[in-house]
Structure 1
């Protein structure tokens, strides 16, 4: 098996279809089918079954997919290490970042970082913190910036903490909030649980949800028109001056949302990782 074969198996396993996998790989279906047969011949094992709903991998096929994942990861590690053996700081830095942090804070960070280290290339993945955590656990990225509290066995540095708050076009009357229109948005499970726990400890009735939208920016736009109120991390309200806000509290203590940098200590031997971690420590005034 070659590197191209690893990619072929991983793509076919993900897509579950010869047609879709061929399109993703920019090869013909006959060429893909031929290569699968060659792999099966090489290992003297049937690795896929074709059905009416697509491709199903056999137990031998699943084993080879895991092997391909491992080999692809080991090859990338080898490339990273070889690149970073050079004197100058260059290479690819793979980062995973929480969506909200990526939207409101990351552009400024990367602008400053790349101005200082122009020979570093950024391979960026964004998504909910739970997704980013899985990426660093599986070693698909070098560093992660996630929000909320998560279990992680490696190095973890708190970059900042911010308030969670209610935002509304109108003045906020907390006692009357359950009777007002709430605009909800899809968000990370941990943040939604924080909001739900606060509500249950503050009110004895369910919120009056008037709208449910797919993004925090859509929600904020609707709140600005006066159609209802929203509950937000304050990171997304820093540029908003036309909304009334009120911090969420429990027992007179503000509810705070933590942003953390995650990485493995051994990866500091990679110059690109070391440079990024040091840059963030300096930016957030973290004592070494």
Structure 2
């Protein structure tokens, strides 16, 4: 068995579907099925059963699939160590990045870093901050860019802090806010809690949610077209002139903000590529890129 075989078992165990696994790994379904039979023959055990409910792993197959994650981790560590031996900045940098940062900040960051270190490759996972936190915590990613106040046991660096705003096409009065159409968008739970806490501090009735959309950019476009107001971080509204903004403040009059962090383990910086990227980020004004 080679590294590709372990990756097949690992992916299939999580997807429980031959077709999805083939698409993820760019392997045709007949080829994948044939390779699975070859793995079973090589190991001398039946690994999966295919039925109406999809792929079911046998007890032996489940054991092998769970060990596959360990094997892949060892392969990855060996490759990173080899890349590190010559003291050059090369190899694959594994990043976990929250959805918003991946769209607005990550492309330019990777471009600038690649210009300095052309031998570096990137493996990027994106998602909500809670998911990125787990990727960094389990060391599936070397570094995580995370929005919100998560308790982190090791190294972290503040990338920027942004204010939360009420955004609307036309001027609005705060005392009328509960009766005005609000546009919400899918986002991290910690951010939602921050907004909800502000709301309950100032109003005794719930907001009138006129729309719930999937992304912040969609929400912003709805606001720009006068379909309602939204509560958004200031970075969403940067360089937009034809929009009215009211900064959220607590009862003491202090502006409510959200921080974006870089999380990593100190031991990860023993890898040249991680150390170089951490230093690179610390020297940048990420907010104004």
Give the whole-Å Cα distance in 1 for the aligned partners of 2:29 and 2:52: 17
Shift of 1:78: 1.3
1:276 counterpart residue number = 277
2:214 counterpart residue number = 214
Q: Is the 1:172–1:245 contact (alpha carbons within 8 Å) kept by the matching residues of 2?
A: no
Give the whole-Å Cα distance in 1 for the aligned partners of 2:27 and 2:101: 37
Q: Is the 1:183–1:230 contact (alpha carbons within 8 Å) kept by the matching residues of 2?
A: yes
SS at match of 2:85: coil
Shift of 1:256: 1.1
Q: Is the 1:94–1:141 contact (alpha carbons within 8 Å) kept by the matching residues of 2?
A: yes
Aligned residues: 285
2:112 counterpart residue number = 112
After superposition, where does 1:59-74 map in structure 2 within 5 Å?
Answer: 59-74=59-74
After superposition, where does 1:98-137 map in structure 2 within 5 Å?
Answer: 98-137=98-137
After superposition, where does 1:17-96 map in structure 2 within 5 Å?
Answer: 17-22=17-22, 24-27=24-27, 29=29, 31-96=31-96
After superposition, where does 1:142-153 map in structure 2 within 5 Å?
Answer: 142-153=142-153
After superposition, what is the alpha-carbon deviation per residue over 1:147-185, rounded to whole angstroms, capped at 9, x for unaligned?
Answer: 001122221122221111111111131111111110111
**Which has the larger displacement, 117-126 or 167-176?**
117-126
**Which has the larger displacement, 32-41 or 139-148?**
32-41
Shift of 1:269: 1.2
Shift of 1:57: 1.6
Give the whole-Å Cα distance in 2 for the aligned partners of 1:190 and 1:116: 35
SS at match of 1:163: strand
After superposition, what is the alpha-carbon deviation per residue over 1:55-111, rounded to whole angstroms, capped at 9, x for unaligned?
Answer: 112333222222111111221121112112223322221111111122222233233
Q: Flag structure 1 segments of 5+ consecutive residues without an equivalent.
A: none
Shift of 1:22: 4.2
1:173 counterpart residue number = 173
**Which has the larger displacement, 108-117 or 16-25?**
16-25
Given the two structures, how large is their TM-score scaled by the length of structure 1? 0.91
1:199 counterpart residue number = 199
Q: Is the 1:84–1:90 contact (alpha carbons within 8 Å) kept by the matching residues of 2?
A: yes
Give the whole-Å Cα distance in 1 for the aligned partners of 2:172 and 2:26: 55
Q: Flag structure 2 segments of 5+ consecutive residues without an equivalent.
A: none
1:265 counterpart residue number = 266
Shift of 1:283: 1.4
- C-alpha RMSD over aligned residues: 2.1
Q: Is the 2:90–2:120 contact (alpha carbons within 8 Å) kept by the matching residues of 1?
A: yes
Structure 1 residue runs of 4 or more that deviate by more than 6 Å after TM superposition: none
Given the two structures, how large is their TM-score scaled by the length of structure 2? 0.91
Q: Is the 1:104–1:235 contact (alpha carbons within 8 Å) kept by the matching residues of 2?
A: no
Q: Is the 2:49–2:56 contact (alpha carbons within 8 Å) kept by the matching residues of 1?
A: yes
SS at match of 2:139: coil
Shift of 1:281: 1.3
Q: Is the 2:87–2:272 contact (alpha carbons within 8 Å) kept by the matching residues of 1?
A: no
